[in-house]
Structure 1
Amino acid sequence: MSAAAMDYEQAGELKIGQVGIANLRIRSLDVARLVDEMRQRVQRAPKLFARAAVVIDFGGLSQVPDATTARALIDGLVEAGVLPVALAYGTPETERLSEALGLPLLAKFRAQYERADGTPAPAVEPAPAQASPASARPAAPAAAAVPGSGQPGKIQSAPVRSGQQVYADNRDLTVLSPVGAGAEVIADGSVHIYGPLRGRALAGAQGNEQARIFCREFHAELVAIAGHYRVLEDIPSDLRGKAVQVWLEDQQLKIAALD
């Protein structure tokens, strides 16, 4: 069963956003169950989730919890190994709860990609583009373009090293070189990687569920489309090192080898 399918049945749905921030949308206010789920996630992928920043989203509940229950959840999540850093804005009740807890509100999950005036932050300029030889392109179905995008895709020719991040806002991203462990490549459209992927790849960052990830040599720490993710520990070993494509189907993340 895929990680996305399991999350659908769990008390809290975890979606992966930018720069290691995760959004934990609470679906069932069962503190012990939520804490146990997060503890298991940390145990399965400690390098990814240990000490990870988490935004708590109570938008999946009919009623915002009281401060005592919310504080018990926060303390439990800290004990499980993650760090709740904010509440996701939803209602005036959420705002009052954030004040009682002493936590900030995040009105937008993608806030760090925006300036204070709300306009998109400029993407890091890539190295000069290089043409990708036709023989290097894995055969795969064409990915849907980013809705409303008039921009050409962004091309990254230099290696993406540990700790670095490359982001293509409102367009596709093509990486012609390796993505190292601890590095992130993110696009609002699809992500194409012609070197080894050892870090993280996130496509459809603004919620485009038609986006895909194509990779020539797959060793990813994490892949995600529109927030639905899988980590290396959840990926079949027979796909590692292969050319693969990743897509979203019926809210489940699919990974398959390319012919």
Structure 2
Amino acid sequence: MNVKAETSDACDLRFGQVGIACVRVRRVDAAALCDELERRVRAAPAMFSRAAVVLDLSHLLDLPDDGAVDALLEAVRSAGMLPVGLAYGTSETEALAKRMGLPLIAKFRAAYEPAGGSETAPAAELPRSKAKTREEIQPEPDLREPILSAPAPGTSIGAQHHAGAVRSGQQVYARDRDLIVTGAIANGAEVIADGNIHIYGGLRGRAMAGAQGDEKARIFVSDFRAELVAIAGHYRVFEKIPDDLEGQSVQCWLDGEKLLIAKL
């Protein structure tokens, strides 16, 4: 009988790149927030139902009081999502998070971690001119309305075509059909389709097919370097792409509840 060796460690603790949506609050209205998020969950339940989200309060003129923030968090829960923390912001946001027992989470990892790995202050705490430059380089993702592209000439009527790159922070969503992208998808960008996804370019961001729960959907990529791929709510996150897949043409599909990736 094989017995696993016991160790003195109760667990391992690691920081990894995980998929967390960012809910950018533009006005303090818990009822309106709940209605809007409920609409998003109904539109793509496999993508947003019970999704982990970070609440971003940085675009409000004044930071809400504790009671108002608690109401916003409850609105997120009522809509079917799970708030896991507040987004980085000012020292007042940090104090608010401490009072409410919530963590502060980077809205987009690359905006706070430079390539060299050294620590920097969040963009919101930089001088205004520097913060603007950082935002131009790496826009923050949110749950705004996705980019919808008209079908290109010669494209089948069942597919949506997006020509050109999808920049960091952008989201392209093909509702009730396949999505064809002829361009690169940057880190922090998302492409979502209720059907299949075909990417004729590099995928460095996230690709999510079968958003309405279609387990037969597939993802095809010409140059695979993804942060995350998902099909019908089943996903894989990559901190490092396996050597045999990095930069290769691949397809992704579901086998039961397991998401598989193989070279084409």
Larger RCO (alpha carbons 8 Å, 6+ apart): 1
- TM-score, scaled to structure 1: 0.49
| Max Rg structure | 2
